[in-house]
Amino acid sequence: MTILRQIHPLVYLAPPLSFPHNTGDMIERDNQHIPPTNLLTTPTASETEREEEISLRPKTLGDFVGQPVIKEHLSIFLEAAKKREEPIEHVLLYGNPGLGKTTLAHIIANECGAQIKITSGPALERVGDLAAILSNLQKGDVLFIDEIHRLNKTIEEVLYPAMEDYALDLIVGKGPTARTLRLNLERFTVIGATTRLSLLSSPLRDRFGVTHHLDFYADEDIAHIIRRNASKLQVEIAKDACELLASRARKTPRIANRLLRRVRDFAQVRAQGTITTSVAQEAFDILHVDPLGLDDVDRRLLHAIIEKFHGGPVGLNTLAASTQEEIDTIEEVYEPFLLQLGLLERTPRGRLATRRAYEHLGLTPPATLL
């Protein structure tokens, strides 16, 4: 039997929806879109992998490696809020998958001594879902919304006054007798995370007081993360092997952790549990991860552009059809890293393979490429 909670003489709210597979304060839907995660170097994570990452996740800003500018800004921002004894402003974090947006959200909540409630844009389907979550927040609580760019527009309209005025506007009744009811909320903080900042509407984006872009990590920072997490996983790793893993982690901590776990498995089965340079190299040969961190799909994309379309330009739809990959997967998962390495060029006419792409694949570049 569902028990309704009365929050006004005319308004009752059902408790937040729960699902058998959910634990803690995560709120999600079974039918939300989950990007493909079957490839070793894909920066998106499956639900199982997210649970494994929790044990490796740093708890404080001091433990967080990389993103020095963001760390400095957040430390000042958090310290100022503590001195004023008030909740922090709303925070928006954007960047490629696997760079630490969720980790930073947990760190911010931990540094503030606040409870964090976790949900995602696709999970909030109805206004009642958001109203139930907001009405249960206490003063200073953090509401983390992952994939915030996928929020329903109707949900956004309810979120605006909640973020700006800490009030919930509800419509009571229907037709001519309908009226608006405003319910006051406790002061809370929204932390939004997105990989597609351009898809956020301007009104929603403007309501965040702090916006930070997470960039790819330096190899030195990735190596530091690997050494620390190897210690947590109780696996011995040589310094040279650590640097080798870092060079193939696509400048992304999530991929570095994934490679570390796979190479650890290989070392435990074939090398008495110690990760040496030779063990790591042999593991990468079996996993088909090359010195730049490219996997089979990356190389297939580059080969398709060079061999089927003479180096480009080629449109994204045509490239997706020729490689049997989804358009969104190419654009959001593979392209950013290929562009970062200078192996791919994006032009108004389509995608072009660069001279460096030819050289990496052992092919002779055409004379037209400088």
Residue 111 lies in a domain: yes
Residue 184 lies in a domain: yes
Return the CATH number at 112.
3.40.50.300
Residues 141, 146, 221, 295: which is the catalytic one?
A: 146
Catalytic: 153?
Answer: no
pTM: 0.77
Structure tokens, 154: 């109707």
Residue 34, pLDDT score: 39
* Beta pairing, strands 116-120 & 142-146: parallel
Show the domain range for 208. Answer: 58-213
Return the CATH number at 319.
1.10.10.10
Nearest to 65 by CA among 221, 285, 256: 221
Residue 106 — very low, low, confident or very high, per pLDDT cuts 50/70/90? very high
Residues 102, 189, 194, 252: which is the catalytic one?
A: 102
The number of folded domains in the chain is 3
Edge-to-edge strand list for the sheet holding 142-146? 116-120, 142-146, 189-194, 91-95, 210-214
Whether residue 132 is found in the same domain as residue 204: yes
Residue 156 lies in a domain: yes
Whether residue 224 is found in the same domain as residue 208: no
Catalytic: 290?
Answer: no
Structure tokens, 167: 């009030």
Residues 117, 150, 251, 254: which is the catalytic one?
A: 254
Residues 194, 195, 323, 354: which is the catalytic one?
A: 195
Residues 42, 101, 150, 252: which is the catalytic one?
A: 101
Span 178-197, pLDDT tens digits: 777 778 888 899 999 998 88
The reply to whether 103 sits in an annotated binding site is: yes
Residue 62 lies in a domain: yes
Domain boundary (287, 306, 328) is at 287
Nearest to 38 by CA among 265, 258, 248: 258
CA pair distance 334, 332, nearest whole angstrom = 6
Apex 19 CA angle, 14 and 21, nearest 5: 160
User: Which of 23 and 179 is assigned the larger pLDDT?
Assistant: 179
Whether residue 203 is found in the same domain as residue 129: yes
Span 208-223, pLDDT tens digits: 988 999 998 999 999 9
The reply to whether 351 sits in an annotated binding site is: yes
Residue 105 — very low, low, confident or very high, per pLDDT cuts 50/70/90? very high
Whether residue 138 is found in the same domain as residue 93: yes
Whether residue 63 is found in the same domain as residue 112: yes
Count of helix runs (H) and strand runs (E) in the chain: 15, 13
Residue 36 — very low, low, confident or very high, per pLDDT cuts 50/70/90? very low
Catalytic: 23?
Answer: no
The reply to whether 346 sits in an annotated binding site is: yes
Whether residue 131 is found in the same domain as residue 149: yes
Span 229-248, pLDDT tens digits: 988 888 888 889 899 999 98
Taking every pair of C-alpha atoms in the chain, what is the biggest distance, in angstroms? 78
Domain boundary (156, 189, 213) is at 213
Whether residue 300 is found in the same domain as residue 279: no
Domain boundary (156, 178, 213) is at 213
Whether residue 209 is found in the same domain as residue 223: no
Task: Decide: 289 and 259 in contact? Cβ < 8 Å.
Answer: yes
Residue 191, pLDDT score: 92
C-alpha dihedral over 69, 72, 74, 76, to 10 degrees? -140
Span 340-358, pLDDT tens digits: 888 898 888 888 888 998 8
The reply to whether 254 sits in an annotated binding site is: yes
CA pair distance 234, 211, nearest whole angstrom = 36
How far lies 13's CA from each of 4, 5, 62, 100, 173, in Å? Answer: 6, 5, 40, 34, 15
CA pair distance 246, 363, nearest whole angstrom = 26
Whether residue 90 is found in the same domain as residue 202: yes
The reply to whether 299 sits in an annotated binding site is: no
Whether residue 103 is found in the same domain as residue 198: yes
Whether residue 138 is found in the same domain as residue 234: no
Whether residue 242 is found in the same domain as residue 350: no
Catalytic: 25?
Answer: no
Mean pLDDT of 40-66: 70
Residue 344 lies in a domain: yes
Residue 362 lies in a domain: yes
Return the CATH number at 225.
1.10.8.60
Q: Is the pLDDT of residue 92 over 90?
A: yes
